[in-house]
Amino acid sequence: MTGFALIVVTGAATLAALHIRSQRDFALAKERYLENSQAASRATAKTVEDALHAIYENVRTLTYLPSVQNLDRHGTNLGEEGRATIQQIYNNLANNVSISEVYFLPLDFDPDRFDPVTGKLEEPILQFDQLIVNARARIDATSAKKLATLDDQSLTRPPEEVETYEYHELARQLAWLKANYPTSSNIEGLNVPIIGTKELITCDNTDFIHSGNDADRSGFILSVPVFAADGSLRGSVSAIMLTSALRKLLPSADYVIVNADYGFESDQHRLSTSLAADTSSFTAPDPNLIYSEVIPLSLNDPRSAWRLWAGFPNSRFENDVDVQSVREFELASYAATAIVTLLALVCWYAIGRTMSMQTEAAETLERRVDERTAEIQHLATHDILTGLPNRGLLADTMDEALRSLRDAEKLAVHCIDLDRFKPVNDTLGHPVGDELLRAVAARLKQQAGETAMVARVGGDEFIILQLLFDGDDQAGALASRVIHALSSEFPIQGHTINIGGSIGIAVFPDDGQSSEILIRNADLALYKAKMEGRGTCRSFEPGMDARLQERRLLEAELALAVAKDQFVLHYQPLHDAETSKLTGFEALVRWNHPRLGQLPPSEFIHLSEEIGVIDTLGEWILRKACADAAQWPLPVKVAVNLSPAQFKQQGLPLQVASALAASNLLPSRLELEITESVLLADNEHTIQTLHSLRDLGVSIAMDDFGTGYSSLSYLRSFPFNRIKIDRSFVSLMCESSESRAIVKAVADLGSTLGMTTTAEGVETEDQYRLVKENGCTDVQGWLFGRPMPASELTALFEAPRALTA
């Protein structure tokens, strides 16, 4: 109970601390909001103040114009240049600060007096938006007599006389200037006063007389004195500034432009009365608002002060981002504290419950630890994928077995490597490959029995430890069973997979005294088995180590052979089967080895593919063959063999194009030979590369046709130019009717598909006769010439008859 009470007290204290923190954050948020509101209000006040200053300055500019100061009573002395200047300044006012109308009044202006010159009531000399306007022209057509004079209180007058009320307001402004500023000496420096009058402007809008509402035409009259050259007052310039123009200076209805002495408020008909205590004046801040301030505007108005009233409602503050963030944090903190307190209570209950069952829990934990320890130990010593012992457990088992063997007992080490496993991963994917490895492990365990141990030591590498009780033949019998088991089909995820395996065997004590030496020697025997054709078993022999060292030395020498220019090309001729005419040569590479003499391709091509030298060597062969062929007479062609490894690089078409360009050899004189192993993966990249090569204009030939499993499907996947029939069929044509039938079928197939067929390995006249009779179009073999250096071809070309075999 003490624990429960402590948790509850802690939770309550945390809530109290969070409440204090939230109140402090709320106060800070309010302080920031008020600071931001004040900054925004001051910026708005500055905008309004600058706009009104601009109006004052433009109106004052008009009073300084000589064309205005020298006007006569009726403005008849105003020239075109003066009119243009006045109009330009007025346009600036109208366009930039929304001034409605601007007037010039002479000093003795009286709107109730008839002008003896015009015979009409007096008007301002100029309305700058129309220049010279006859204010009574619209009623001249009627002979109606003026019904009444203007009544300032009731504003009851005929509609046609509404405009004259403006003139009375202008006259009162002028009278005030006459009384307070009779000469310019009353003005200090350039501090020209501007006086205003309250919002009583109608501008021909009779609706204002009856309703008092005129949102668009209500506004302010501002007057500026005009002095003559001698400093005496000549009159005034007055401008009408609309209320709607003032509203445009304000960003929202939260601001009001106020002149209390004139009774002017810019938004008195739009602002909600609920926001302020007295919306008719706006002369003081409103304590009912979250923020309210009256900001004085610095304007040169000698009769009254201008101010900007700003007031933001509480709802604006509540919707502020900072305030909402504080509120959300406060609520989230309360919720989190409550949840944590509840969880703490639950946990405390669970702990108490657990402590009451401590003995049972300890026993359960100990059992689980033992199970987990056993599982970890198994994972540390076994392969995760197949469940077989791994390399570490294998080494420990071998060492223990070697120590415990009796004098007559032996131990055989079988190193097993799967054949053709990598294409399964590449073509069918790793999930299929993983399931295949599990199936292989099951078959190996089945064949090994109870007296042997199977371990997985690499990707597709396995080792079997076998106790020999009946001599070394027992090891060979197990190897034969394993090879047979691995050569059988594997049904995996709907695929029928054929792989196979090669095995190398080393036996204790004959082939080694330690586990490391036995595994190394078994691996050497495995290498020998794979070199001799795969799917076989070989036992360790003492000379295998020396051969491995020789191979490693050969690998190092091969890596430097291209740079040392140790390779040469020999060329074997190809002839037309019907005419025996020379049609081209096949380029065959030779390695002039400094120790071993000249080596054929069979001695190093496969090795160059394994160590990654084939790309450099293949490019050299291609460039050299093109350069030599460029020296031959037309239309003799050259054929170059491409390794499957060369198709893995992305730039093979570019490499071929570069060789053609460097040698100036016509693409039609180059033929590239590939084997079906290039198409084994049947991937889009290989087919795309072949089409790119064909687009260069070169020919593509399939070499050793008929020796693979799916040759006919390859002819369908890509349209070859030539089919080369393997020498294994040609060599048996004289003895085997089946070989003759195969050669004829391939020749007929090539004819049907529009492909040239070349019989390889023609060595006798009878073979030549048979391939020609069975439809082959070209022949190649020792009967027509052995591979020869490029230097010997010159003599062949110089003897025209030699071009025909």
Predicted local distance difference test score (pLDDT) of residue 664: 94
The mean of the pLDDT values for the chain is 80
Instruction: Choose between 325 and 412: higher pLDDT.
Output: 412
What percentage of the chain reaches a pLDDT higher than 90?
A: 21
Among 219-223, 476-480, 557-561, 754-758, name the one with the lowest average pLDDT: 219-223
Helix (H/G/I), strand (E/B), else coil: 219? strand
Torsion of CA 86, 90, 91, 95, to 10 degrees: 160
pLDDT above 70: residue 136: no
CA 400 to chain centroid: 58
Residues paired with residue 596 on neighbouring β-strands, in sequence order: none
What is the structure's pLDDT at 6?
84
pTM for the complete prediction?
A: 0.43
- Residue 631 pLDDT level (bands cut at 50, 70, 90): very high
Least confident of 10-19, 160-169, 465-474, 641-650: 160-169
Q: What is the pLDDT of residue 141?
A: 34
**Eight-class DSSP state of 698:** -
> In this predicted model, what pLDDT tens digit does every residue of 764-804 receive, in sequence order?
999 999 999 999 999 999 888 899 998 888 877 876 544 55
CA distances from 278 to 45, 218, 254, 297, 631 (A): 21, 21, 14, 21, 109
For the segment 228-249, the average pLDDT, to the nearest whole number, is 82
Query: Nearest to residue 725, comparing CAs of 747, 700, 705?
Result: 705
- pLDDT given for residue 191 in this prediction: 66
The CA distance from 675 to 685, in Å, is 16
The percentage of the chain sitting over the pLDDT mark of 70, rounded to a whole number, equals 84
Structure tokens at 334: 């309360």
